[in-house]
Structure 1
């Protein structure tokens, strides 16, 4: 023995490190990864929306949702649900894209309501409306992706 003392705190029996738990297949781990993927795709959406807002908010919305949905679907396949070997890229885009179509309709409706109710609304206000609707539809989408697609 070298005489060194282990100064690490004792590990509780049965408890995995947080990193290992977040990589697991439990519902909470998958949901946390789902939220992180959703957040990253919303950043892409917001960037595209602001970049393309000069073409009109509806064009910016549709392009932003289409691009961020493809990214999110692929990240969910690879990261959230670890389904690369079970589900192919095109199948993912087709099935998860169908679910995202409902979010597109709801987001576009929210955007239309903002434009009608507040015709002078800023691009940030428009993004807020769409992202708020996305949060609600996102929870429903998580359950559908987990139970049906992946």
Structure 2
């Protein structure tokens, strides 16, 4: 038995690593809560996952044109994000049904689609030879800005 062990009843229990394990467990419990910071972290994680889907769809479809690829990628990633936000980010599956989340969240995403389409059009005008990676990067940057505004709207209005 070492100096980091304590006695509980008749059994020694090691305290080695308890502080760091307790700290991690406390942080994980905090992220599972319904506070604004926890929701923002989960919102960002969901956004990252849906952006991966968007990016893959955009690259797969850019041969059909950047605007088509953007629209399809935005629709697919929005459906995924709205459902994950409903269930995970805002814990609203019991308060908001699937259709409402898609309709209201989709309306907010439409604003993002318009902004990203405008950015792609501007990029095409300013840099006509821009490749798909630059186009996708621009859209993701615009989506990040719109995403912050979307978080506030989803938290206060939809969920």
TM-score (norm 2): 0.88
**CA RMSD of the aligned region, Å?**
1.5
Q: How does 1:104-119 map to 2 (within 5 A)?
A: 104-119=113-128
Structure with a larger share of its residues in strand: 2
Larger Rg: 2
CA 1:134/1:6 → structure 2, altered by over 3 Å: closer, same or farther? same
TM superposition shift of 1:9: 3.5
Gaps of at least 5 residues in structure 2 are 1-9
Deviations 1:39-84 (A, max 9, x none): 1100000000001111111110100000000100000000100000
Q: Give the length in aligned residue pairs.
A: 147
Q: State the 4+ residue runs in structure 1 displaced beyond 4 angstroms.
A: none
User: Could you tell me how far apart the structure 2 residues matched to 1:58 and 1:33 are?
Assistant: 29
Once residues 3 and 131 of structure 1 are traced to their aligned partners in structure 2, the CA distance between those partners, rounded to angstroms, is: 54
Distance of 1:87 and 1:44 partners within structure 2: 24
Distance 1:88 1:4 in 2: 47
Displacement of 1:8 after TM fit?
Answer: 4.1
Which of residues 93, 98, 105 in structure 1 aligns to 2:102? 93
SS of equivalent residue, structure 1 residue 17 = helix
TM-score between the two structures when normalised by the length of structure 1: 0.93
